[in-house]
Structure 1
Amino acid sequence: MKHEFRWKTAVLGLFLMLSTACTTLYRNHGYVPPEEELQNIVVGVDTRATVDDVVGPPSTAGVLSDGNYYYVRSRVRHYGALRPEVIERQVLAISFDQADVVANVERFGLQDGQVVVLSRRVTDSSVEGNGFLRQMLGNIGRLDPSTLFGG
């Protein structure tokens, strides 16, 4: 009787763990101002300061040389052990002219299918293909004894 209770408890516990492991989780990242707030921005009239007051400064501003504002929001679905999948992404781009007046307000989504590279920096690594021991042993010949004692 006691073993039967333990067996049922173990099966029930395993079932609960498996059912919760396959639960879909949604995570939201970022912020895009709602359409009601964007209605208060007039292209050709409002300035960067006005945009800051009406919708707030974005977390991604001035990444490119033109200093435009980019508001980005993503919704990611996590399901069990599968790779997380971006199911919704919205990018709001507010561009300014040389006088910091709003020139354009555009909204993009995943359905637009454009990949926008905000920044691309490539640095060549001099340690590529070298293991830890090779790096350590390679430094032995470069040792200058005069620098050890501050001389």
Structure 2
Amino acid sequence: MTGRAVTSGARGVMLAAIAAAALTGCTAQFRDHGYTPPESDLARIVPGVDTRATVEDLVGVPTSQGILNNDGYYWVSSRMRTFAWQRPQVVQREVVAISFDQAGIVRGIERYGLEDGRVVPLTRRVTDNAGGDIGFIRRLFGNIGRLQAADFLGSN
């Protein structure tokens, strides 16, 4: 035999390396995206007292702000799981929402999580404003019964 023959020890090392590479490819990979302030920082915010400026001082600049009325700050974090050839999947998502009134005073602090594909409230701290705030969706659906055909046809 020539010196090129592979010994059984070298063959075992090669098989072990191939097996380790195959198992590594079948291990789930996790990636974290975004940031949400810890509960200890949120506990220092007092609804009805703190303002936008004090919120930014206490917990930092938000990931995003309210689109229509600039009435809230939002922080979002997600954890993605990638496994082998499968499409990445969101396994954890957390949203912290701080809402403000017209004067820029903190109205409420809410934390939402991902559970079975739905956003559910985990904690909620809000001040009571005696029903003065009606959400956009509630306003939209509240007007459905008030519409009449004459409104669309231009007749009085």
Give the TM interval when normalised to the shorter protein.
0.5 to 0.7
Q: Which residue of 2 aligns with 1:91?
A: 95
Q: CA deviation at 1:7?
A: 4.3
Report whether the alignment pairs 1:65 with 2:71: no
Q: Which residue of 2 aligns with 1:34?
A: 38
Identity %, equivalent residues: 44
Q: CA deviation at 1:27?
A: 1.1
2:17 maps to amino acid:
G
Residue number among 71, 78, 81 corresponding to 2:82 in the alignment: 78
Q: How does 1:117-132 map to 2 (within 5 A)?
A: none
How many Å separate the matches in 2 of 1:97 and 1:33?
Answer: 21
Give the match's secondary structure for 1:69. strand
Q: CA deviation at 1:110?
A: 0.8
Superposed CA offset, 1:5-36 (max 9, x none): 56445433321210110122211111111111
Residue number among 24, 27, 33 corresponding to 1:23 in the alignment: 27
Q: Which residue of 2 aligns with 1:52?
A: 56
Q: CA deviation at 1:4?
A: 4.1
TM-score by length of 2: 0.65
How many Å separate the matches in 2 of 1:107 and 1:36?
Answer: 13
Report whether the alignment pairs 1:103 with 2:107: yes
Give the match's secondary structure for 2:80. strand
How many residues end up aligned between the 2 structures? Answer: 114
CA-based RMSD of the aligned residues comes to 2.1
Q: Which runs of 5+ in 2 are unaligned?
A: 121-156
How many Å separate the matches in 1 of 2:48 and 2:5?
Answer: 79
Give the match's secondary structure for 2:54. helix
Superposed CA offset, 1:67-119 (max 9, x none): 2111001111122222212111100111111111111111111128149xxxx
1:77 maps to amino acid:
R
Higher percent of residues as strand: 2
Q: Which runs of 5+ in 1 are unaligned?
A: 116-151
TM-score by length of 1: 0.67
How many Å separate the matches in 1 of 2:69 and 2:43?
Answer: 24
Q: Which residue of 1 aligns with 2:118?
A: 113
Q: CA deviation at 1:60?
A: 1.5
